[in-house]
Amino acid sequence: MRELTLNDQVVVFDREATAAVYRNIDVLGTDVCTCNSCKNFRQFRHVAYGPKLLDLLDRLGIDPLKEWEVYWAGEDHRANGYIYYGGWFVFVGDWVTKTDPAKQQVRKEESFSFTDNFPNGTKQFGPQPLAVEFFVQIPKASDYVSDLQ
């Protein structure tokens, strides 16, 4: 297990075990869901994550094309043509120093933090896995229609 610090959060993680789980995952929900939000996310996934988040995912052994789950978080009406998404990448790890999640998640164009609060069904990552929770802003396709309209 290696140790990693992100802001005030410190975790230990097993990169090799995490990478092995991701190699065995073929498809997750975002890749098969037919809702407009997931279709839009798939179209712009290649620009969704900045270099700092991609570096973190690589260090943890996470495949950036296999989000555990993604959710539509609304449109940015200040910057027409952009949509907010949130989601999680799960990994094999444990807390060393856990901080209040409300202090960690600052919503802006891109933010991310560690969390132990995410959708279930992750037993292949161990008894108490952690996740990188992310919040990103990506373009809206010209043919996108919000599911909520």
pLDDT for the residue numbered 107 = 55
- Cα–Cα distance, 112 to 11 (Å, whole number): 14
pLDDT for the residue numbered 79 = 66
pTM of the model: 0.89
pLDDT for the residue numbered 148 = 46
pLDDT digit string (tens) for 91-101? 999 999 987 66
**Residue ranges per domain, the chain?**
2-139
**Which tokens hold the place of 15?**
């990169």
pLDDT digit string (tens) for 27-85? 888 899 999 999 999 999 999 999 999 999 999 999 999 999 999 998 877 767 889 99
Contact predicate 92/64, CB 8 Å: no
- Cα–Cα distance, 146 to 67 (Å, whole number): 21
What is the three-class DSSP state of 45?
Answer: helix
